[in-house]
Structure 1
Amino acid sequence: MSQIELKDQKGSKLAILQALRVHGSMSRIDLTRLTGLSRATISISIGELMENGLVYETENRLVTKGRPATTLELVPHSRVILGADLDHKAWTLGAFDLLGNAVKVMKIPIHSFEPEHAFSTLSKEITSFSKSLDVSSVPLVGLGVPGLIDWKHRAIRSAADLGWQHVEVAELMEKAIGWPTVVVNRHRARGLAECRYGAGQPFRNMIYIGVGMGIAAGFFIDRQLMSGSMGGAGEIGHITIEPEGPLCPCGNQGCLQVLSAGPAIEQEFRKLVRTYEHTSPFADESMDLQFLKAHDVCELAEAGDDMAAMVVKKAASYLGIAMANMLNTFNPEAIILGGTIPNASRLFVDTATKTMRQRAMRPLSADTIVTTSQYMDIGGALGAANFAFDKNISLSFFN
């Protein structure tokens, strides 16, 4: 077989693997349509993938007008990919198979947000974590991290909330563990997990918005993450909502992040409590306001506290304005809200949705679905693992 023929055959198998990963199980006919490969090429490549234990045919036959067709699926637990997500002073490290099933997950606390400490803490655990698995690991790791990521997905250009600038993440990790490392914004990683395995599975075009200590979005076209020319597509936390609003760590005024994210909710509630000497019947009166977190305010609002509800509604309304603008611009099938704030407050989600529908073009907003994420702790790690494999998929990993 010539080098060209060998390359074409490898490319065909990779195309099939990727189609099954992104779009799920399907028939040979659907694979032919989706990949553009001939039926003969599909047949040969599927046979080799089945011999390697990566693909199998299900016994459930699809209902078709003509000849019954079996579906092709990836084999569960054939290989695992590692992904990690940094949030709440801890890494979530997970091993996931090609179908997105979690094989093993662990939490790794960090005690300093100095970048060298944060990444060395993770790298020290990865090797032993991989060796502890019963399934062979693909020698590759994806990391979901805060901030703006460079277009090569190797470094953090800026994470203003942590004071990080130009952190060469992939270089640090590859030197420590010897594996290729791919870096992605943690909210976009979580969005990818929702798109492929969670609340976004029914949709081909969707927006994921993560709201926690910061705000970022992922735009998904035909179930693929849109990165933008410099890797910054989805930095909606830094779109201007109030031109004369509070100063943002990025240097701008009135960014969505300083109006809707966790710190904004905490600061607004503290200010109102001190101004009006408000005592919540649902809060511990001995609670130090400096230790009050956004999820505490959300819980108070859900329990019926008027002042907490007012704060949550205000933050959510700003997000709703941004959602309306994105809906008019992008026209997605669905918007999925994730992160600590939407997951802690139905009031936040309902208020943001109501504002979006009021401010967006009615013909566009009427059919747009707004829902919340299904994945909590492992979504970022799962999405980062998937994103890394998308960027580095190779048959050499399966030899």
Structure 2
Amino acid sequence: MRKGDTQEIRRLNRRAILSHLRRGPLTRADLSRLTGLAKSAVSRLVEELLQEGLLEEGAFTSPPLGRPGTLLHLRPGARFALGAEVGVEGTVLLALDWRGEVIWAKEWRHPKAAGPEERFARLFQEALPKTEGALGLGFTLPGVVVGERLLFAPNLGWRELSLKDLLADFPLPTLAENDAKASALSEVFFHGEENLAYLVLSTGLGVGVVAEGRLLRGANGAAGEVGHWQGQGERRCACGRKGCLETELSLEALLQHHRALGGEAEDVDTLRAQAQEGDPLVQASLAHLGEALGRFLANLAVAYDPARVVVGGKAAELFPFLEGPMRRALEAHAFLQAHRTLPVQPSSYGHLAAAVGGASLFLARFFELGGLWAESPRRNGGRYAEVAFGDRRGPGA
């Protein structure tokens, strides 16, 4: 037996118990049956988790068969992480508990010309008073992120940015990820999806794809940058090229189309409010975007064949107006019969979804480590950074 194997087994057993309790309350006997562990082992590990404040005991059960037992629950708010979306027009910062509940959220806008130093300084100013007890800060960016480098974020105008330098003074562990990829990973973590496309439709257009349980990254981290698929259009894209898809399919394109029809909405929030009031120009613009979205999803289904598509970004809050024309276009252009009825739904977190994705990077790792990392970094066999989120055993696999 290798040194540390006993600790690894303990961690795996704790993870199994926590994973089953994520689905709902269970008794110790239920956990023994589901995990295959001896009742004595389950009792010992459950006692650890109770003492650490991760679990709590609830109602007493008296089943028709078998011995009575006490239901165990994941304790609300027992662990949480900070998540942020550093977007084109503003930043979202929130705290997410390990059950997926948003504890609090804060948003602020900033000029598009604001640089990374200014934006991260404000982010840290807002986050620093709220770091106590947090597992870490995960943040997302609308561009190609590889490790601690941002290679290119066209809509921000940033290239070859060292995130490590910006984060050096922050007191918590930090993780950076592309907004669509982080959102896709959060869907894997919370719902266990194995074939998923997560579409971020906002100022730009990006997709996070999970295929057979693995996030697609590509050789250079650019997998999913579908907003920069080339077409025949003549509009100049923020990336510097002409004809990129997001010049036709994005919320910026929606506003431009609305103005071309004679509308005067200055931003998406105003446009949504006018749509709710039944403004015909707004409804025509949204129908145009919904149809374009449906055609795009027909192509996406051929490229990746997902079992489900989730729409995030501010488009999630416009989904009721987009769904009808989107569904009709998807049915009309679908390649396979199954694609005609492809499940497409808005993110339950709305425009907070990318920040939720950032926080879930840490929450998923916490579960992967059986809750031992936050207890003591050395008890899981090494530094936190040495544990890969996407290994074959973890929820991000």
C-alpha distance 223-106 of structure 1, shift in aligned 2 (>3 A): farther
Q: Percent identity?
A: 23
Helix, strand or coil at the partner of 2:4: helix
TM-score under structure 2 length normalisation: 0.77
Helix, strand or coil at the partner of 1:397: helix
Q: Which amino acid aligns with 1:258?
A: T
Distance (whole Å) between structure 2 residues aligned to residue 330 and residue 68 of structure 1: 48
Kindly state the Cα deviation for residue 338 of structure 1 after the two structures are TM-superposed.
Answer: 2.4
Is contact 1:298-1:344 (8 Å) kept?
yes
Partner of 2:392: none
For each residue in 1:134-154, what CA deviation from the matched residue of structure 2 results, as whole angstroms up to 9, or x when unmatched?
xx222x21002221211x2x2
C-alpha distance 307-104 of structure 1, shift in aligned 2 (>3 A): closer
Q: Which amino acid aligns with 2:334?
A: A
Partner of 1:181: 174
Match for 2:221 among 227, 231, 243? 231
| Residue 246 (1) aligns with residue 235 (2) | yes
Helix, strand or coil at the partner of 2:338: helix
| Residue 28 (1) aligns with residue 26 (2) | no
Kindly state the Cα deviation for residue 354 of structure 1 after the two structures are TM-superposed.
Answer: 1.8
Kindly state the Cα deviation for residue 385 of structure 1 after the two structures are TM-superposed.
Answer: 0.9
For each residue in 1:60-105, what CA deviation from the matched residue of structure 2 results, as whole angstroms up to 9, or x when unmatched?
8799999899775422222221111224643322222211223333
Helix, strand or coil at the partner of 1:319: helix
Distance (whole Å) between structure 2 residues aligned to residue 75 and residue 3 of structure 1: 33
Distance (whole Å) between structure 1 residues aligned to residue 320 and residue 58 of structure 2: 40
Match for 2:310 among 326, 332, 336? 336
Distance (whole Å) between structure 2 residues aligned to residue 127 and residue 96 of structure 1: 16
Partner of 2:156: 162
Structure-to-structure mapping, 1:138-149, within 5 angstroms:
138=135, 140-149=136-145
Kindly state the Cα deviation for residue 294 of structure 1 after the two structures are TM-superposed.
Answer: 3.9
Partner of 2:267: 293
Q: Which amino acid aligns with 1:372?
A: P
Partner of 1:285: none
Query: RMSD across aligned C-alpha pairs, in angstroms?
Result: 3.7
With 58-67 and 296-305 compared, the bigger mean Cα shift is at 58-67
Partner of 1:369: 343
Partner of 1:116: 117
Partner of 2:129: 128
Helix, strand or coil at the partner of 2:255: helix
Partner of 2:134: 137
C-alpha distance 12-268 of structure 1, shift in aligned 2 (>3 A): same
Kindly state the Cα deviation for residue 295 of structure 1 after the two structures are TM-superposed.
Answer: 4.4
Helix, strand or coil at the partner of 2:131: helix
> Any unmatched runs of 5+ in structure 1?
274-279, 281-288
Q: Which amino acid aligns with 1:148?
A: V
Distance (whole Å) between structure 2 residues aligned to residue 21 and residue 255 of structure 1: 45
| Residue 212 (1) aligns with residue 205 (2) | no
Is contact 1:295-1:341 (8 Å) kept?
no
With 57-66 and 263-272 compared, the bigger mean Cα shift is at 57-66
C-alpha distance 248-42 of structure 1, shift in aligned 2 (>3 A): farther
C-alpha distance 183-202 of structure 1, shift in aligned 2 (>3 A): closer
Kindly state the Cα deviation for residue 252 of structure 1 after the two structures are TM-superposed.
Answer: 4.1
With 260-269 and 201-210 compared, the bigger mean Cα shift is at 201-210
With 376-385 and 299-308 compared, the bigger mean Cα shift is at 299-308
